[in-house]
Structure 1
Amino acid sequence: MSIRTQLPGALVLEDGRIFPGVPFGAETDAEGEAVFTTVMTGYQEVATDPSFYGQIVCMTYPLIGNYGVCPEDDQSRRPWIAGMVVREYCDEPSHWRSTGTLGEYLARHGIPALHSVDTRALTRHLRTRGVMRAVLVSDRAGRSDDELRELAGKAWTPNTADVVPAVAGDFRALGPKDAPHVVLIDLGVKEHIIESLLRREVRVTVVPYGTTAKAILALGPDGVVTSPGPGDPVNAAAAVFTVRDLARSGLPFFGICLGHQLLALAAGAQTSKLKFGHRGGNHPVKDLLSGQVHMTSQNHGYQVDAESLPVDQGWQIWMVNVNDGTVEGLRHQRLPVMSVQYHPEGSPGPQDNQYLFDEFLALVRAHWERRQPAASVGLAAQASTGGSE
């Protein structure tokens, strides 16, 4: 497929700014929220991250498409972005795993994109003015700039309603049956989160959004994970009550990204929208308990308001963003509950935060061992010491 140079398109923002570009991908228009991400690789993972649902994503790294696409990199069953905007698009990828071009991939899924856009100017504009409504048009012919601006001002965004049902998956049972059992609430989970759990030899039951705490507890879990997902956490009100009951149950609980925000709401805290969000693979986060700083992969537009956290009820801020001081992690002083605002599986982005799965699963295994019959525990102890005398 050759890059089309005719019928130039544009990204039009609700404040009237127009960024012209050359279309690739699907030959259609899109509406959504214009955002940017600073990841240098992983454009396919970005496209298939459900947290990007309904957003037109500007890739700040200038060269996109150079290593093609392959099915193994999909983070979900389909791409969720509304559109993509890049500076330079490579339509002749070179990589041994590549099964096609990014343009073909987006076209197959009906997603439009633009290249030859001044992405630096666009990113600076969004940092200054904040993320906003936008339309991406593949063909400006026959439409005036004023008409396009009017469309941008009325564009739908994923913050106006509960959009989690659009991306959440179905029930799945995975992993060995005779292992610690983790229930994962799917609010738009990425596959690498599930893989990060399975490679640690636990049983994972994925339950759909809307599953009640009572139904989850009936599955007999040793721990619960609440996944990332799109939209304003306040709109996912039903999940707040589920998370509240699970966090109070005494089970190990791990909230990731949207799961972190829902945990904060369940604790009685508040959330608010960030000006331009945290999206990229290079966000420094400080662990306030250890003093260590970790580079993290992030994709969110909302934050937990630190001053609203009820610290008198045992809640504490665990991690903060080094750049702006926003809350990046929560813990409870008495309950086995933890959460992070970023993506510990690092897809795309750094992998050095995988230790969080180990920390959570240590709590899970301790809970599982307490549930085993005394005879089984004795046999396990004998096996670990080489048998009895």
Structure 2
Amino acid sequence: MNYKNLKKAILLLEDGTIFEGKSVGIEGSSFGEVCYNTGMTGYQEIFTDPSYSGQLMVTTNAHIGNYGVNDDEVESNGIKIAGLICRNFSFPYSRDRSSGSLEAYLEKHNLLAITDVDTRAVVSYIRDKGAMNAVISTEVDNVESLKAQLKEVPNMEGLDLASTVSTKEPYFYGDENASYKVSALDLGIKTNILRNLAKRDCYIKVFPNTASLEELKGFNPDGYFLSNGPGDPEPLKNAQKVAGEIIEQNLPLFGICLGHQVIGISQGVSTKKMHNGHRGINHPVKNLITGKGEITSQNHGFVIDRASLEGNDKVEVTHIHLNDNTVAGIRIKDKNCFSVQYHPEANPGPHDSSYLFDQFIDSLKK
């Protein structure tokens, strides 16, 4: 492709602010909540993470596409972001392990992406004003029409997106002769979570988000897992019910991200939408039990409301985010249940949080 002939494109925020750019290839318009990720690597893992469903992704790393794509570096069955906004899109790529270009990958999944955007200005604006709905479009002459369409896009708060990315039918992952069996409720599960469980001698059956505890019990598992996922945890009534029943029966339960929030709600804790969320691979977390720090991967726009934990005698905070003191982990007192807001299966190098999977295995042994 001739870089000089790229078609003009825009990023239009719901408050009317416009940032100019150019289309990477696919033409049209794509709507969603605009957010940003500060990771310097791992763009393919970000794009295929179901937790980003319904969101327009701004990448703060200046160069995107320079190392191509690899078929093994995906977190789901395809791209889940609603659109991509970047500073410098690299059409050439260079890496021995690449299976193709990011340009071709985006075209295959029909994803709209724009480049040449002043992403520093966009991120600065979002940090000040907060997350909001937006549209990226090549229809630069139809701004008023785009504004009208943008008004009809639902807000992320109160939105059930987990049901849109959850599996429709149960499936298995791992070695059926493994030592442990785990029933996982899929709210938007990442493949690397399954990999981490499987390599710890677990055989996993992944269930749709609508599954009951009776269905999960039908696998005769040693423990239960509540996955990550997109959207607001409040509408997920079935997942909350299942979590509450597992905890009440004192069965081993581990939750990550959205699953962590669902566990909190099941115990009378409330959640809230954040100003602009945590999304990156270098977020500092303190383990209050051990006193140790962890460099973590995070991706969430909702969080457990710490104020709602006051007076709650069921839930203990185990981890906090050191940047803003938000709740990053909890455990249920006198129950075999714990959860974290961040992603121990994902990291840019440090494996500070991988012990959480080992902790879950220890709970299965008990």
- TM class, shorter-length: over 0.9
Tell me the CA shift for residue 85 of structure 1.
0.4
Change (3 A) 1:19 1:45: same
| TM-score after normalising by structure 2 | 0.95
Taking the aligned partners of 1:105 and 1:348, their CA distance within structure 2 comes to: 22
| TM-score after normalising by structure 1 | 0.90
Q: Which residue of 2 aligns with 1:225?
A: 225
For the residue of structure 1 that corresponds to 2:5, the secondary structure is: coil
CA RMSD of aligned residues (A): 1.6
Q: Which residue of 1 aligns with 2:150?
A: 152
Taking the aligned partners of 2:307 and 2:129, their CA distance within structure 1 comes to: 25
8 A contact 1:4–1:23 mirrored in 2: no
Out of 161, 164, 186, which is 2:162 matched to?
164
8 A contact 2:180–2:222 mirrored in 1: yes
Tell me the CA shift for residue 18 of structure 1.
0.4
Change (3 A) 1:76 1:25: farther
Q: Which residue of 1 aligns with 2:31?
A: 31
Q: Which residue of 1 aligns with 2:109?
A: 109
For the residue of structure 1 that corresponds to 2:24, the secondary structure is: strand
Taking the aligned partners of 2:15 and 2:335, their CA distance within structure 1 comes to: 46
Amino acid at match of 1:108: K
Tell me the CA shift for residue 352 of structure 1.
2.5
Taking the aligned partners of 1:217 and 1:247, their CA distance within structure 2 comes to: 14
Give runs of aligned pairs for residues 309-328 of structure 1, distance below 5 A: 309=309, 312-328=312-328
Amino acid at match of 1:309: L
Q: Which residue of 1 aligns with 2:258?
A: 258
Tell me the CA shift for residue 123 of structure 1.
0.2
For the residue of structure 2 that corresponds to 1:72, the secondary structure is: coil
Taking the aligned partners of 2:172 and 2:54, their CA distance within structure 1 comes to: 29
Tell me the CA shift for residue 235 of structure 1.
1.4
8 A contact 1:51–1:299 mirrored in 2: yes
Amino acid at match of 2:171: R
Q: Which residue of 1 aligns with 2:292?
A: 292
Tell me the CA shift for residue 149 of structure 1.
3.1
For the residue of structure 2 that corresponds to 1:146, the secondary structure is: helix
Give runs of aligned pairs for residues 226-245 of structure 1, distance below 5 A: 226-245=226-245
Tell me the CA shift for residue 310 of structure 1.
6.5
Give runs of aligned pairs for residues 147-226 of structure 1, distance below 5 A: 147-169=145-167, 170-174=169-173, 175-177=175-177, 179-226=179-226
Amino acid at match of 2:170: F
Give runs of aligned pairs for residues 1-389 of structure 1, distance below 5 A: 1-3=1-3, 5-140=5-140, 142-143=141-142, 145-169=143-167, 170-174=169-173, 175-177=175-177, 179-309=179-309, 312-346=312-346, 350-366=350-366
Tell me the CA shift for residue 66 of structure 1.
0.6
Larger radius of gyration: 1
Taking the aligned partners of 2:266 and 2:127, their CA distance within structure 1 comes to: 31
CA offsets per residue over residues 215-256 of structure 1, 9 Å max, x none? Answer: 212322111110000000001122110111012221111010
Change (3 A) 1:156 1:9: farther
Structure 1 runs of 4+ off > 6 angstroms?
none
Q: Percent identity?
A: 37
Change (3 A) 1:220 1:347: same
Tell me the CA shift for residue 208 of structure 1.
1.3
The answer to which of 47-56 and 169-178 deviates more is 169-178
Q: Which runs of 5+ in 2 are unaligned?
A: none
Taking the aligned partners of 1:50 and 1:123, their CA distance within structure 2 comes to: 22
Q: Which runs of 5+ in 1 are unaligned?
A: 367-389
Amino acid at match of 2:74: D
For the residue of structure 2 that corresponds to 1:234, the secondary structure is: coil
8 A contact 1:53–1:158 mirrored in 2: no
For the residue of structure 2 that corresponds to 1:313, the secondary structure is: coil
CA offsets per residue over residues 173-221 of structure 1, 9 Å max, x none? Answer: 2323351111111111010000000011122111111111122123221
8 A contact 1:15–1:153 mirrored in 2: no
Change (3 A) 1:122 1:204: same
For the residue of structure 1 that corresponds to 2:98, the secondary structure is: coil
Tell me the CA shift for residue 318 of structure 1.
0.6
Tell me the CA shift for residue 313 of structure 1.
3.2
CA offsets per residue over residues 67-91 of structure 1, 9 Å max, x none? Answer: 0001101110011100000011111
Taking the aligned partners of 1:178 and 1:197, their CA distance within structure 2 comes to: 11
Tell me the CA shift for residue 314 of structure 1.
3.1
For the residue of structure 2 that corresponds to 1:21, the secondary structure is: strand
Tell me the CA shift for residue 122 of structure 1.
0.1
Tell me the CA shift for residue 139 of structure 1.
3.5
Amino acid at match of 1:361: I
Tell me the CA shift for residue 365 of structure 1.
2.2
Amino acid at match of 1:33: E
Taking the aligned partners of 1:86 and 1:237, their CA distance within structure 2 comes to: 36
Taking the aligned partners of 2:92 and 2:178, their CA distance within structure 1 comes to: 47
Change (3 A) 1:349 1:243: farther
Change (3 A) 1:202 1:230: same
8 A contact 2:178–2:201 mirrored in 1: no
